[in-house]
Amino acid sequence: MDMSLNGGLGDVIAAEKNIPLTGTGGDFGECLTAVRHANYRDFWVVASARRSIPDRKKNRYTCRIVSSV
């Protein structure tokens, strides 16, 4: 989302949408949440790993920042 587009209302940048959290493996993303960053502009997206993947440790998480700039 680029808030400088569409007269300040914002628009989705086609090349920057549907980006996997961890590549094409699909390990993460079944359960996720977002938490506001301390700067009150950005958000952290936190996702847990799928437990059905064999030979993987349970309780794995990944965090990605979603920036407003």
What range does the domain containing 17 cover? Answer: 6-66
Task: Label residues 27-56 b or e (16+ Cβ within 10 Å = b).
Answer: bbeeeeeeeeeeeeeeeebbbbbeeeeeee
Q: Which sign, positive or negative, has the C-alpha torsion 46, 48, 49, 50? A: negative
Of the two residues 55 and 7, the one the predictor is more confident about is 7
Number of domains the chain contains: 1
Residues in the chain, overall count: 69
Record the pTM. 0.55
Any domain includes 1: no
Query: How confident is the model over 12-55, as pLDDT tens digits?
Result: 888 777 766 664 556 666 678 899 999 988 999 888 776 655 55
| The pLDDT of residue 57 | 58
Any domain includes 34: yes
Confidence band of 9 (pLDDT split at 50, 70, 90) = confident
| The pLDDT of residue 37 | 92
Confidence band of 58 (pLDDT split at 50, 70, 90) = low
